[in-house]
Amino acid sequence: MNLAVSTPWGLAGLLLVLLPLFTSGMQASATPWLALMPADRLSSFIDAGLRLCAMTVIAALVLGMAGLHRTEQSLERIGHGAHVVLLLDRSSSMDNSFAGRAPNANNDGKDAEESKSGAARRLLTDFVKHRETGLIGVAEYSTSPLFVMPLTENKTAVQAAISATATPALGFTHVSKGLGMALSFFQQQSVTGSRIVLLVSDGAAVIDHDSEQKLREWFKQQQVRLYWIFLRTANSPGIFDKPEDSRDDNAQAMPELYLHKFFLSLGSPYQAYEAESPDALKQAIADINQLENLPMHYFERIPKQDLSATCYRVAGLLLLVLLAVKFCEVKR
Amino acid sequence: MTHRLKDYRLWCLLFALIAMLVLFIIPSKKQKSPTYNYTFIIDITRSMNATDYQQDNQAVSRLSFVKQTLRDLLRDLPCQSKVGIGLFTERRSTLLFEPLEVCSAYTEIDTVISKIDWRMAWAADSNIAKGLLSTLDMLKKSDSSVIFITDGQEAPPVNVNYQADFSGLRGQVKGMIIGVGGLQTVPIPKFNSQGEQTGFYKPEDVPHRSSFGQSTLAPSQIKGYNARNAPFGNDVVTGNEHLTALQETYLEKLSAESGLGYARLADLQSLALALKNSKLATEKLVQTDIRWQWALLTLLMISLVYLPGIYQYHRFFR
């Protein structure tokens, strides 16, 4: 019961509660001296009751006006869910379709092809909508990482961040900085449920040695699971491709393969999905939704409860009593 | 019966009960109140690191002052107002999130503003006119007002032959340009790749004139002109482009061309006034709780009933 009022100075009105202590609220009758009357227990009970009634009416009115409410509470619960950071690629190529074309170009009267970022946006919005418990945050990266939305329960906020990726994409792919940003989301969070970084990208980049070291360390410290949804453009190298020529077997020529190898070597749980179409992307997201439901502690928020209506109801009812009693008053 | 009706207390109680009944029947009324929908586009180019604001007797950078002021402003906005955040660098801006209702998403918006950093810039140029143009183009379909917060420092300087043309967008987007910075020139801090400051930008670090496209001068007037190798001549140009100050006349010109308002960021009050005074508000019908008015009336009535009559005490005054 954490009670609070919205306008504390309004409580000064509570002083009025004292009024019924001084007067009976009845017209003085012509009986000369009360002491002449024999003491009557019932009468004093009724008198005290009526005064109490009036005091309660005044107190309830004042509390109602001051805006009495129960503050927002959080209830600890155990459920299934995860803390998910969506790490989205904002590099320019994301605005192309899976076939590697700019959408709307040359579609011969057929439906326009969906861009990779468009498909990701649509399916991730859906993903967010269907997560029941847990927190979701959003980070983006192109040449530099962008902090977009902290881990939050507010799905509208996450969806606003996802739909803002409809604005044109930015620059290059600098995945290590993006991963660093995503991992930093978990720094002040207690470890509960599963912690996931969901990387959605259509390309990879070489990670330099220093960043590699740091990422290894952070992944281990934060106990984060990594999912990589690779949006593969037609005819481009994939994650699982083996180099045909041994001369191409290096990080510069096949950054996707090498990034995949690096993720495998992290030692923390890692799963890669290669999506070549919106349907494959949908499948990958559904998979993750299924997998990531470990037991976790979470706090259910119980919003603030307005109690002023109750106050007014009490006041109204007791006022009715007072008025009824008033009609019973004997007058001579 | 006549006795009873003479008692003013009865009337007070009756009146109080009627007021209570009205309270339950008409608990709220619709009232027009202004709400706002802003998309703040914040300049995060290097010149925004210049420290020419004071906060708690400490020099703070333009960017951190902007962040602090916006966070304070966020607290002032009425519920049902919306705020979106975007960043500007190079020659365009990006939207971090679409406008969110300020009361339900206060923590989220506040955290995002606090995390804005100059290192989020994806490229280092600062071409403000082009940035503004692309921002307006990007947001012309949204019903949010664009608040473009910048110091107006173009880097590299703009070639007057290739200026942004706002004629197509004029009047389509409402909003304001907010000028940030002092009018005195100050040096721009320089950082290394670890984010540590390593001094300030020096004259030789930055271009002092535009070398894009064709020069505005006739070739005969350019010293050392060579159409292919030196279209701008071979003179060493020096200038003050390594220093920065609020380019107010330039921003006023941009605001006039693009049909936006202009205000300078001095403190929270002036910013709030500028943003609320302009025509950016939309009147929304908001249900306002008026129960307190009826409750006050009831309280007054019941207090009258129990008000100690002066006649009871008049003997003290005798």
CATH number for the domain including A259?
A: 3.40.50.410
Rounded to whole angstroms, the Cα distance separating B4 from A204 reads 91
Tell me which residue of A288, A293, A232, A292 sits closest to A260, measured CA to CA.
A232
Task: Verify that A98 and A53 share a domain, yes or no.
Answer: no
DSSP codes joined into one string, B4-40 = HHH-HHHHHHHHHHHHHHHHHH--EEEEEEEE-EEEE
Task: Verify that A291 and A142 share a domain, yes or no.
Answer: yes
Task: Verify that A268 and A191 share a domain, yes or no.
Answer: yes
Average pLDDT over residues B54-61: 87
Average pLDDT over residues B38-45: 90
- A184 contacts on B by Cβ (under 8 Å): none
Instruction: Indicate the domain borders of chain B.
Output: 30-200+241-287, 207-240
Rounded to whole angstroms, the Cα distance separating B286 from B31 reads 5
Q: What is the pLDDT of residue B1?
A: 47
Q: What is the pLDDT of residue B67?
A: 92
Q: What is the pLDDT of residue A110?
A: 46
Q: Is there a contact between A168 and B92 if contact means CB atoms under 8 Å apart?
A: yes
* Chain B touched by A31 (CB under 8 Å): no
- A28 contacts on B by Cβ (under 8 Å): 312
Kind and range of the H or E run holding B198: strand B197-200
CATH numeric code, B30-200+241-287: 3.40.50.410
Q: What is the pLDDT of residue A331?
A: 65
**Among A65, A208, A307, which would you mutate to test the B interface (most chain B Cβ atoms within 10 Å of its Cβ)?**
A65
Contact status, residue B12 vs residue B304, Cβ threshold 8 Å: yes
- Domain containing A246: what range? 77-300
In terms of Cβ atoms closer than 10 Å to its own Cβ (0-12, 13-18, 19+), residue B70 is buried
Q: Which residue has the tokens 């940003």?
A: A181
Closest-CA residue in chain A for B100?
A: A157
Rounded to whole angstroms, the Cα distance separating A140 from B161 reads 36
Which carries the bigger pLDDT value, residue B165 or residue A57?
A57
- B97 contacts on A by Cβ (under 8 Å): 148-149, 157, 160-161, 164
- B112 contacts on A by Cβ (under 8 Å): 147-150
Q: Is there a contact between A312 and B20 if contact means CB atoms under 8 Å apart?
A: yes
Rounded to whole angstroms, the Cα distance separating B249 from B154 reads 13
Closest-CA residue in chain A for B292?
A: A65
**Among A147, A188, A310, which would you mutate to test the B interface (most chain B Cβ atoms within 10 Å of its Cβ)?**
A147
Asked whether the predicted pLDDT for residue B10 surpasses 80, the reply is: yes
Task: Verify that A89 and A133 share a domain, yes or no.
Answer: yes
Tell me which residue of B258, B271, B248 sits closest to B150, measured CA to CA.
B248
Asked whether the predicted pLDDT for residue B144 surpasses 50, the reply is: yes
What is the Cα B73 distance to its own chain's centre? 8
Task: Verify that A296 and A310 share a domain, yes or no.
Answer: no
Q: What is the pLDDT of residue B5?
A: 56
* Chain B touched by A210 (CB under 8 Å): no
Among A4-8, B233-237, B267-271, whose mean pLDDT is lowest? Answer: B233-237
pTM over 0.80, yes/no: no
Q: Is there a contact between A64 and B292 if contact means CB atoms under 8 Å apart?
A: yes
- Angle at alpha carbon of residue A56, lines to A53 and A61, rounded to 5°: 130
Average pLDDT over residues B112-121: 86
Rounded to whole angstroms, the Cα distance separating A89 from A70 reads 43
Which carries the bigger pLDDT value, residue B93 or residue B164?
B93
Phi first, then psi: what are they for A80, rounded to 5°?
-120, 140
Q: Are strands B175-179 and B145-150 parallel, antiparallel or unpaired?
A: parallel
* Chain B touched by A103 (CB under 8 Å): no
- The minimum CA-CA distance between B219 and chain A, rounded to whole Å, is 36
Rounded to whole angstroms, the Cα distance separating B121 from A286 reads 34
Q: What is the pLDDT of residue A108?
A: 46
Q: What is the pLDDT of residue A319?
A: 92
Compute the residue count for chain B: 318
Task: Verify that A63 and A162 share a domain, yes or no.
Answer: no
- The minimum CA-CA distance between A272 and chain B, rounded to whole Å, is 27
Contact status, residue A275 vs residue A233, Cβ threshold 8 Å: no
Q: Are strands B92-101 and B145-150 parallel, antiparallel or unpaired?
A: unpaired
Q: Are strands B58-60 and B53-55 parallel, antiparallel or unpaired?
A: antiparallel
Tell me how many domains chain A contains.
2
Which carries the bigger pLDDT value, residue B227 or residue B43?
B43
Phi first, then psi: what are they for B23, rounded to 5°?
-55, -40
DSSP 8-state symbol, A149 = E
In one letter, which amino acid is B123? A
Pick from B9, B21, B86: CB nearest A25: B9
- B13 contacts on A by Cβ (under 8 Å): 319, 322-323, 326
Q: Which residue has the tokens 């003085």?
A: A28
Residues 6+ apart with CB under 8 A from A131: A81, A82, A84, A155, A289
Q: What is the pLDDT of residue B217?
A: 72
- The minimum CA-CA distance between A186 and chain B, rounded to whole Å, is 14
Residues 6+ apart with CB under 8 A from A101: A113
Average pLDDT over residues B100-112: 89
Task: Verify that A48 and A122 share a domain, yes or no.
Answer: no
What is the Cα A242 distance to its own chain's centre? 42
Closest-CA residue in chain B for A158?
A: B97
Contact status, residue B104 vs residue A154, Cβ threshold 8 Å: yes
- A136 contacts on B by Cβ (under 8 Å): none
Give chain A's residues under pLDDT 50.
Answer: 105-110
Average pLDDT over residues B139-159: 83
Q: Is there a contact between B299 and A326 if contact means CB atoms under 8 Å apart?
A: no
Average pLDDT of chain B to the nearest whole number: 82
Among A273-277, B8-12, B235-239, whose mean pLDDT is lowest? Answer: B235-239
Q: Is there a contact between B108 and A329 if contact means CB atoms under 8 Å apart?
A: no
Q: Is there a contact between A164 and B123 if contact means CB atoms under 8 Å apart?
A: no
Pick from B112, B291, B305: CB nearest A147: B112
**Alpha helix positions (H), B143-235:** none
Pick from A19, A167, A319: CB nearest B95: A167
Question: Is the complex ipTM more than 0.90?
Answer: no
Rounded to whole angstroms, the Cα distance separating A6 from A10 reads 9
**Among B44, B108, B304, which would you mutate to test the A interface (most chain A Cβ atoms within 10 Å of its Cβ)?**
B108
The total of other beta-carbon atoms located within 10 Å of residue A126's CB is 14
Average pLDDT over residues B47-66: 88
Rounded to whole angstroms, the Cα distance separating B96 from B41 reads 10
Phi first, then psi: what are they for B4, rounded to 5°?
-65, -40
Tell me which residue of B148, B305, B21, B253 sits closest to A53, measured CA to CA.
B305
Task: Verify that A98 and A13 share a domain, yes or no.
Answer: no
Pick from A144, A164, A308: CB nearest B95: A164
